[in-house]
Structure formats: structure tokens, C-alpha cells
Chains A and B, each alone.
Chain A
Amino acid sequence: MDKNQWAYSENVKKHFMNPQNILQIEEDKYPADGKGMVGSPACGDMMMVLIKVANNRISDFKWKTFGCASAIASTSALSELVLKDGGMTLEEAYKVTPEDIIRELGGLPSNKIHCSVLGDKALREAIDDYYNKNNQKNPSQESVSRVVCDCKNVTEEDIRMEVLEGVTDFEKMKEVTGASTVCGKCEQDVRDTMKKFVEQYYKDDIYNPGE
């Protein structure tokens, strides 16, 4: 791919120009079993995911997205991923990660990785909503994430989400999460945890498109 012509992979382009599984009717005419809505217009990204469930599998997935090309392409790719081969089970779908979406898209530029985070979040919200509506407990709901900073109650998951939002610098991490700003005993743990996720998400040779 010629990087000068298009900053994204061919797959992003395909999903962006021709998004799949968009909700094309009014929302109230689509009887969804679960709904997830994440993000906000102020942040520049907002996604709505509607799912139907049959026999513990996601039998339909419709969405709408406000956002940039990678946000739109991410939701479209996610919808195909979830619906493949008769649909994922709820357990499988609950475990979809941003990496899965990025892989499906053939990579995203590193400053765009945060745009792919919302899709799986919206999907999990829709699944939680489905269980709630049916008065069931979500068996996949993870026990709470490990607390890294006791003073500020910052978890591994909090740090992971910030890394995905583009925070890769320790000072910035302190600023946005508050971690390591009180007693400071957690500094090394915060640094190590952050480093682990930075290496996981920003390894150029894995996610750089077209190389």
C-alpha cells in the first residue's frame, strides 16, 4: 500500500467506505435483546451496538458510529467478526479485545488505536444489558481487575484503558489516573504495568499497516 495515499490499511479503507451491518431502520423498529452505547460527541467518538441473541449466540449485530474513519471501520470489522460462522457465543464475544479488532483491520496507525477501544466496550455493554434484561448474571463478568495503586484505587484495567487512549508516558499516566501521586510506593508497579501494555499495543512491527 502506498502510505502517501492512505494512512490506513486497505481493510480499514474497505470497511470505512463500505461499512457492514449498519442499523438502517429506526432504532425502535429493531427489537434488540441488548444495547450498548459508549463514548461521547465531545470526545469525537460515539458508538451504539444493538445485538440479538439466540441459543446463547449473537445472531445479529447492528451498529451506528459517530467518529473518524478508524472508529467507523472498527465497528464494521467488529460486527463481521462477531457474526462470523453463525455468530460468537456470548462468552466469546465478551472476550473480544481491541487487539482482535485491530488484527481484523490489518493494523491501525498507533495514534488511532484508541479509536478501536470503544467497539469492544460497546459490545460488552450490550451483552451486560442482555443479561440484565433477562435477570441473569453474566458468567463472563470478570472478577475485578487487580488494584495497582492502593491510594488512588487505580487498577490494571484503568491503566490498560489509558494506554489504549494514547497515554504512554509515566508523568501523563500519573496526571490522568492519579496513580502514584500520593504515597508513591506503587511507582515501579505502575511503570511496569504501563510498559507491559505499551509493548503489547504499540509494537510497530505488529500493527503498522502495509509493512
Chain B
Amino acid sequence: MSLYLDNNATTSLHPAVKEAIIEFLDSYGNPGSMHEAGRRVKDRLDSAREEIASFLGTTPTKIMFTSCASESNNTILKSLLLHDFGFKPHMITSAIEHPSIITTARYLEKNGVDVTYLPVTKDGIIEISALEKAITDRTVLVSIMHANNEIGTVQPIEEAAKLLTQKNIFFHSDMVQAPGKIIFNLDSMDIDAASFSAHKMHAPKGIGALYFKNSKAENFPFTPLIHGGHQENGLRAGTENTIGIIAWAAACRAIKADVQNEIDYIKNLRDSFENIIKESISDIVINGESAPRKPCTSNVSFKYVEGESILLRLDMEGIAVSTGSACSTGSLDPSHVIMALHNDPETAHGSIRFSFSRENSMEDVQATAAALKKTIDFLRSISPLTPKG
């Protein structure tokens, strides 16, 4: 059995994406070249950018391609904040961001930027009132993610965007986990910048994008992270990842056709999974359960057992999941996200993330729930923490 339930980490290639890649393989021209081979690829690139932009609800001039969402996140924070403002700039983010935001923020702290990390409720949501309180007259940028990658909770970014527009503060959102799972329209959201990654939506790894609206950033210069040629309007140098971009456009086309049905389908899998395990396994916590969540994600803490051993025993049965336990990361600290919710290492060490996709079936859900029950029963039987014995 081979059952892939780690779709928040990455996804398989959509069949239409594979076809598009194969079709494009011989188009080797450099889109920056003036000759025929280059121009042909430039045309393909332009329409791909158009398609990706339209899928995200915006226009091509606001889409800047990067090598991955980590680069997009690094770019927006470093390019806008590492300047002499004439005062000590302040940024606000949340405690549950992806490491590519948190670690970058920590780096900025060492380089003259003040950072506030907003806490979240027990359900994994930031509070707009807390955001408002955190704003000072030195606040130049706010970065709050959309759907969280570990627990799937959806942050109130539209409300945040309204508030920050009023205050004229630049607002970035890491929206990597949203496309294809949550329907949205970028241009109507009052967001100034957002990060995306192709490999989370059935396209290849190594291609990302930064949505960037220059309006509020006119107050401060944008320094490219990668200097060089004129690609991406001079904001990001480097010959474009043409195959990646073509493939990503194909994924957008394929997903767009049926996006609402797909969301309903995946949500039904996730909800059924949670209903089954709530019946069959005692002493569990579904993290973020009562908050709005992206439809594919279920993050569950199992009391009295540790996440890595759950993960590896499921792996033996051919089931791929991920865990927030410290033991999986190589560090000694468990997931900062689960810690931000419950401030309880035990809950974090025993957490497992199941993330479903269009390729999973109801049989997969049942098989996983059954294997999981067996695994948890066994590990609890050898744990000194089980309530009795």
C-alpha cells in the first residue's frame, strides 16, 4: 500500500502538468534573447504569467517569479526593511508563520528591525484587536500568513488588510497553502504582497512567485535580493525557470476547471477522517478544529504517545504523514505552531498532520484510520503514560 497524506509538504504532478512539461522540453530559447528561439519562449512565458496571474485573481505585471516561496518571503522582508529609515523600523508577524518568515524576522532583528510576534488563540488564529494594539508609529510592514501549513487554520487576512490600508502600512501575506484549496481574488483583497509556491498545487518544485503591488512601497525603496539582469522588471535577476513556469500555468488551468468540486471533495475526505478517528481513538485533540481551516488539513495530537514513532509505524504501512514532534526535526524543540496554540510540549510532541489531496479516496481515509488506530493502540500499550497501566 502506498498512501500519500502529506500534501501540505508537497504534491504530486498533475497529469496535465506532466504533459505540458513534455510538450515544452525542446523549447530551450532564453526568453531574454532577441532571436526567434528566444521570442518564441518569451511568448509562452508571457501567456503562462497571464494564466497564473488570472488564477490568483490579479494581472501579470504584479507577478514576479522566484525560485520558491522561501525566496518570496525572504525578498519581501529583506528588500523592504533593510534600509535606513531614519528611525528603527518595526514589523509585525505571527507566532505561527513558516520558518522562512520567522527565521528571516529573527535575522532582521539582528540587523536593526524591531519585530512583534503576535500570539494566537487556542484555535490557532490571530486576533485583529491584538494586531491593532501592536501597531506603533514605527510600524512599516505586517506579514501574516493565510492558511497555516501545519494546522490549516485560516487567518483573518482580509480584515487585517482593511485595517492596514486605513493605517497606510504595507501588508504581506504568505499564501502558499491557499491556491486550489481556498477560493480568493488577490486584487480585491487590499493586500500589498503575497507569496506562492507551485509545488503545493501539483506543479514542480523550484518555482515560486511574489505578488507585489508597489503602491504603499513608494515610501521606501525595494532592493532586489538577487542583482543581475533585467528579468522580472529588474526586481529579481536570473534567467527564468521556463519549464517550471509553463508547468505551473498548466496546473492552474487544470485546477481552475473544477476547483469548487475539488474543494468539496477534499473537505469531505478530511471531515470523514476526523469523524472516524473521534469515534475510534480516545484522548485526542484536533488542533484548530473550531477555527476556519483549509479543507485538506487535519492536525491531531494523540495523548501518551510521541509523533515520530507514530509517523514511522504508519510509514511501515505505506502511509506518509508528518509530525510536529521535536524528534522529527533534529532540533530538541517541538513544533512552534502547536506550542503557540497550547503551550504544552506534550501535545506538540504527539501531533500528526494528515493533509489530503484530489488523489486520495474514501478507501484511503478508511485504511488510514484503521492503521492509525492499530498504531496508537500499540504505542499506548508500551507507553508509561497511558492513563491506566
Which chain A residues border B327 with CB–CB below 8 Å? 44, 67-70, 112, 115
Chain B 352-389 near chain A by CB (<8 Å), digits 1 or 0: 00000000000000000000000000000111110011
A48 touches B309 (CB 8 A): no
How near does chain B come to A31, taking the closest CB pair, in angstroms?
A: 15
CA distance A28 to B312 in the complex (A): 31
CA distance A42 to B343 in the complex (A): 11
A46 touches B385 (CB 8 A): yes
A64 touches B383 (CB 8 A): yes
Q: Chain A interface: which of B36-44, B150-158, B243-251, B300-308?
A: B300-308
Which chain A residues border B381 with CB–CB below 8 Å? 22, 24
Instruction: Indicate if B240 sits at the interface (CB-CB under 8 A).
Output: no
B384 touches A17 (CB 8 A): no
Q: Which residues 181-237 in B have Cβ within 8 Å of A in the complex? A: none
Which chain A residues border B346 with CB–CB below 8 Å? 41-42
B306 touches A66 (CB 8 A): yes
Instruction: Indicate if A111 sits at the interface (CB-CB under 8 A).
Output: yes
Once A16-B309, A166-B332 are accepted as A-B contacts, the answer to whether A66 and B316 lie under 8 Å apart by CB is no
B345 touches A72 (CB 8 A): no
Instruction: Indicate if A65 sits at the interface (CB-CB under 8 A).
Output: yes
Q: Which residues 16-49 in A have Cβ within 8 Å of B in the complex? A: 16-17, 19, 22, 24-27, 37, 41-48
Once A44-B326, A69-B312, A72-B309 are accepted as A-B contacts, the answer to whether A165 and B385 lie under 8 Å apart by CB is no
Once A67-B309, A68-B309 are accepted as A-B contacts, the answer to whether A41 and B382 lie under 8 Å apart by CB is no
Residue of A nearest to B304 (CB): A66
Instruction: Indicate if B70 sits at the interface (CB-CB under 8 A).
Output: no
How near does chain A come to B112, taking the closest CB pair, in angstroms?
A: 23
B389 touches A37 (CB 8 A): no
Once A16-B312, A72-B309 are accepted as A-B contacts, the answer to whether A66 and B383 lie under 8 Å apart by CB is yes
CA distance A124 to B376 in the complex (A): 29
Once A65-B384, A66-B305 are accepted as A-B contacts, the answer to whether A41 and B389 lie under 8 Å apart by CB is no
**Interface range for A:** 20 to 34
Which chain B residues border A27 with CB–CB below 8 Å? 389
How near does chain A come to B373, taking the closest CB pair, in angstroms?
A: 17
Residue of B nearest to A25 (CB): B389
A64 touches B382 (CB 8 A): yes
B389 touches A69 (CB 8 A): no
Which chain B residues border A16 with CB–CB below 8 Å? 309, 312-313
B385 touches A44 (CB 8 A): no
How near does chain A come to B332, taking the closest CB pair, in angstroms?
A: 6
How near does chain A come to B379, taking the closest CB pair, in angstroms?
A: 8
Which residue of the partner chain, among A42, A69, A111, A165, contacts B309 with CB atoms under 8 Å? Answer: A69
A41 touches B309 (CB 8 A): no
B384 touches A66 (CB 8 A): yes
Residue of A nearest to B323 (CB): A68
Chain B 239-270 near chain A by CB (<8 Å), digits 1 or 0: 00000000000000000000000000000000
A68 touches B384 (CB 8 A): no
Chain A 57-81 near chain B by CB (<8 Å), digits 1 or 0: 0000000111111111000000000
Which residue of the partner chain, among A41, A68, A112, A114, contacts B345 with CB atoms under 8 Å? Answer: A41
B385 touches A19 (CB 8 A): no
Which chain B residues border A47 with CB–CB below 8 Å? 384
CA distance A26 to B384 in the complex (A): 11
Once A44-B306, A68-B325, A111-B330 are accepted as A-B contacts, the answer to whether A19 and B384 lie under 8 Å apart by CB is no
Chain B 149-193 near chain A by CB (<8 Å), digits 1 or 0: 000000000000000000000000000000000000000000000
Once A46-B385, A47-B384, A166-B332 are accepted as A-B contacts, the answer to whether A17 and B306 lie under 8 Å apart by CB is no
- Listed in ascending order, the chain A residues whose CB lies under 8 Å from chain B are 16-17, 19, 22, 24-27, 37, 41-48, 64-72, 111-112, 114-115, 165-166
For the complex of A and B, 9 pairs with smallest distance between CB atoms:
A68-B327, A68-B308, A48-B384, A64-B384, A42-B345, A41-B346, A44-B349, A66-B383, A111-B330
Extra 20 A-B pairs, beta carbons < 8 Å, given A25-B389, A65-B383, A68-B309: A16-B309, A24-B381, A26-B388, A41-B345, A42-B345, A43-B332, A44-B306, A44-B326, A45-B306, A65-B382, A66-B304, A66-B305, A66-B384, A68-B308, A68-B328, A69-B312, A69-B327, A71-B306, A111-B330, A166-B332
28 A–B contacts, CB within 8 A, in A order? A16-B309, A16-B313, A17-B313, A19-B382, A26-B388, A26-B389, A27-B389, A37-B384, A41-B346, A42-B346, A43-B332, A44-B326, A44-B327, A44-B334, A48-B384, A64-B383, A65-B382, A65-B383, A65-B384, A66-B305, A66-B384, A70-B327, A72-B309, A72-B382, A112-B327, A114-B332, A165-B332, A166-B332
